[in-house]
Structure 1
Amino acid sequence: MAEKTYICRVDEIETGTPYIAKIRSLSVGVFRIGDSFHALLNVCPHRGAPLCEGPQCGTTAPVDQAQFIYHRENEIVRCAWHGWEFDIKTGAALVDPGVRARTFPVTVEAGEIYVTA
């Protein structure tokens, strides 16, 4: 049964640096995007790498012209092993949204972050 677990205080997580926490036997990365917080299982669904230890970044936008447009800054985590990119909010892989990293609900109460797993 899922239970709510205290992770840390809001001011302990900076954008760009996920907080890796242990919830029972699970390793979970908690990310800050602006004023919102999101949690992902620290396991890449591609090959089992520690997904949340890769960089929190953006990605290039799909465009019709021969140009690069960087967007979605800090909304993506890139697996350090093979470069797969995942949407932090949904867990969906950018190359194939059918491949998903596991997400967990996050709540903030009185400046403290909780994850339900």
Structure 2
Amino acid sequence: MSRHVVAAVGEIPLNGSRKVTVKGREIAIFHVAGEYFALTDRCPHEGGSLCAGRLIGLVRSQEPGRYDYSRPNEMLQCSWHGWEFDIRTGQSYCDPDSIRARTYEVKVEPGEALAKGPFVAETFPVSVEGEYIVVEV
């Protein structure tokens, strides 16, 4: 797997999101409580944008009229039909046995770590023939 820098810390507001494209894939990045999470931007239900969805908490009930609210902003509600996904695992809460949004590993790294080499520039042989410059690729 290859690594890609997608944003600087601070560019995605707390409890906010940003859509990025990496190798042709649209990925939604979320910032929740100082952590970052990445999921495919396409809802597996019918293709709605997950980045445009709403971050909510987990609500459970053991009996009628009593609700337990936990995990604030860790559940993602699809912008089209409201299907809910756990941003940590991608698990669907509408169909947990068979539907999951793809997740990607996210790391925060200091800029100096990204700048360390060794870097190798790609080179191409160049020659001059008469009045023309020729590059071989």
TM-score class, shorter = 0.7 to 0.9
**Aligned equivalents of 1:7, 1:71: Cα separation in 2:** 30
Mean Cα deviation higher: 80-89 or 61-70? 61-70
Correspondence 1:100 to 2:62:
no
**Aligned equivalents of 2:56, 2:76: Cα separation in 1:** 6
Q: Deviation at 1:95? A: 2.6
Over the aligned positions, Cα root-mean-square deviation in angstroms equals 2.0
Matched position secondary structure for 2:85: strand
User: What TM-score do you get using the length of structure 2 for normalisation?
Assistant: 0.74
Correspondence 1:45 to 2:49:
no
Mean Cα deviation higher: 15-24 or 40-49? 15-24
**Aligned equivalents of 1:17, 1:70: Cα separation in 2:** 20
Q: Which is bigger in relative contact order (C-alpha 8 A, separation at least 6)?
A: 1
Identity %: 36
**Aligned equivalents of 1:92, 1:62: Cα separation in 2:** 19
Q: Deviation at 1:111? A: 6.3
Change (3 A) 1:67 1:8: same
Matched position secondary structure for 1:89: coil
Q: Deviation at 1:65? A: 4.0
Partner of 1:6: 5
Amino acid at match of 2:11: E
- Provide the aligned length of Structure 1 versus Structure 2: 112
Unmatched 5+ residue regions in structure 2?
115-137
**Aligned equivalents of 1:16, 1:111: Cα separation in 2:** 23
Change (3 A) 1:100 1:64: same
Partner of 1:56: 55
> Residues 27-80 of structure 1: CA distance to partner in whole angstroms, max 9, x if unpaired?
111111212211000000001111221111113123224223332211011001
**Aligned equivalents of 1:11, 1:54: Cα separation in 2:** 20
Structure holding more strand per residue: 1
Matched position secondary structure for 2:29: strand
Partner of 2:123: none
**Aligned equivalents of 2:102, 2:61: Cα separation in 1:** 25
